[in-house]
Amino acid sequence: MRQNAADKAFDIVNYTLLTIVLIAVMYPLVFVVSASFSNPERVLNGEVWLLPKQLTMLGYQKVFQNKDILTGYGNTILYTVAGTAVNLAMTVAAAYPLSRRDFKGKKAIMLFMVFTMFFNGGLVPTYLLIKQLHMIDTFWVMIVPNAVAVWNIIIMRTFFQQSIPGEMQEAAAIDGCSNTQILLRIVLPLSLPILAVMVLFYSVGHWNAYFNALIYLTDRAKYPLQLILREILIQNQMNEMNNLTEESYASQVMNAETIKYAVIIIANLPVLLLYPLLQRYFVKGMLIGAIKG
């Protein structure tokens, strides 16, 4: 019976700790949502703790009036859609041959790709290459240098090997199917779940990326949303700390304050909407990858 008392104590401690973790993770997110619907003055005065105070949509209105944000949003959508399409095509093009047992040279090719996961030329040689290719400040620089990720090729290859019977492909070959037909008519239709995983992996990556844009883009008209967000959320905040004495300080802060919570919500809206889907497929994808790392 002592066992039961100990079990109970364990459960109490366990549930309490998990609840604390849950609150710690969720609270900042809930706060941002509440603050985005509140009167910015109330937020600034520290009156908003959990629920919105003086409900207003002002922040959202200002976000939609901001040209930079709208252009950035459009650019990000463009980069995400085009980038993901290229990623998907390239990943299939690499993963399918590598999954075939009768594909000679697959080991060498795999090694050739995996090596780049552990060793690369580094930032500067890559930058010089992009410069030489005249890709700086072009649309392509946001797509091509990240055309495919080795890790995703491995995940996809593992899926092809494990979930699509080799016998089925051999039978199709005997019936006169070419390799392209086998891929298009048999393998891909059976791989919709993994294709969904890949679309989600890649598109979330494109949506959230800012590094390539920071390095390779100088034309503001091409900036993705994340770089605009960086200006609003981080650079403004830095100025705020440095220019405490300036006269325009108050109005500047108010403006940034009004917009900053709403812009986070707007920026993450697609991810938020897709979240239930993302969650399920992402976990699936992670686990396929984990089996054979």
Residues 172-231 that bind other proteins (CB under 8 A): 178-180, 183, 204, 207-211, 215, 226, 229-230
The answer to the question of residue 240 lying near other proteins (CB under 8 A) is yes
Tell me the DSSP string of 203-250: HHHHHH--HHHHHH---GGG--HHHHHIIIIIIHHHHHHH-TT-TTHH
Q: Classify residue 21 as left (phi > 0), alpha (psi -120 to 50) or beta.
A: alpha
Helix axes 58-65, 249-291, angle to 10 degrees: 80
| Tokens of residue 141, six digits | 């620089």
The answer to the question of residue 88 lying near other proteins (CB under 8 A) is no
Between CA 44 and CA 35 the distance in angstroms is 10
Question: Minimum Å distance from CB 57 to other proteins?
Answer: 20
The answer to the question of residue 233 lying near other proteins (CB under 8 A) is yes
Judge whether 96 and 183 are in contact, CB under 8 Å: yes
For other proteins, the binding residue among 237, 269, 273, 277 (CB under 8 A) is 237
The stretch near other proteins (CB under 8 A) out of 64-72, 77-85, 90-98, 162-170 is 90-98
Between CA 141 and CA 126 the distance in angstroms is 12
Residue list 18-37, contact with other proteins (CB under 8 A): 18, 21-22, 24-26, 28-29, 31-32
The stretch near other proteins (CB under 8 A) out of 57-65, 158-166, 187-195, 259-267 is 259-267
Taking residue 268's Cβ as centre, other Cβ atoms within 10 Å add up to 15
The answer to the question of residue 1 lying near other proteins (CB under 8 A) is no
Judge whether 72 and 267 are in contact, CB under 8 Å: no
The answer to the question of residue 127 lying near other proteins (CB under 8 A) is yes
Question: Minimum Å distance from CB 246 to other proteins?
Answer: 14
Number of DSSP helices (H) and strands (E) in the chain, helices first: 14, 0
Residue list 51-70, contact with other proteins (CB under 8 A): none
In sequence order, the 6+-apart residues with CB closer than 8 A to the CB of 267 are 73, 225, 226, 229
Q: Where are the alpha helices (DSSP H) in the chain?
A: 2-36, 40-44, 58-65, 67-99, 106-118, 123-132, 150-163, 166-174, 179-181, 192-208, 211-216, 225-229, 236-242, 249-291
User: What DSSP state is assigned to residue 186?
Assistant: I
Number of residues that bind other proteins (CB under 8 A): 89
The stretch near other proteins (CB under 8 A) out of 56-64, 66-74, 103-111, 154-162 is 103-111
Between CA 86 and CA 206 the distance in angstroms is 12
Residue list 260-279, contact with other proteins (CB under 8 A): 260-261, 264, 267-268, 271, 275, 278-279
The answer to the question of residue 6 lying near other proteins (CB under 8 A) is yes
Question: Minimum Å distance from CB 65 to other proteins?
Answer: 20
In the complex with other proteins, the residue whose CB is nearer, 155 or 183, is: 183
For other proteins, the binding residue among 61, 107, 112, 170 (CB under 8 A) is 112
For other proteins, the binding residue among 109, 149, 186, 188 (CB under 8 A) is 109
The stretch near other proteins (CB under 8 A) out of 52-60, 62-70, 97-105, 155-163 is 97-105
Question: Minimum Å distance from CB 234 to other proteins?
Answer: 6
**Chain mean position to CA 49:** 29
The answer to the question of residue 135 lying near other proteins (CB under 8 A) is no
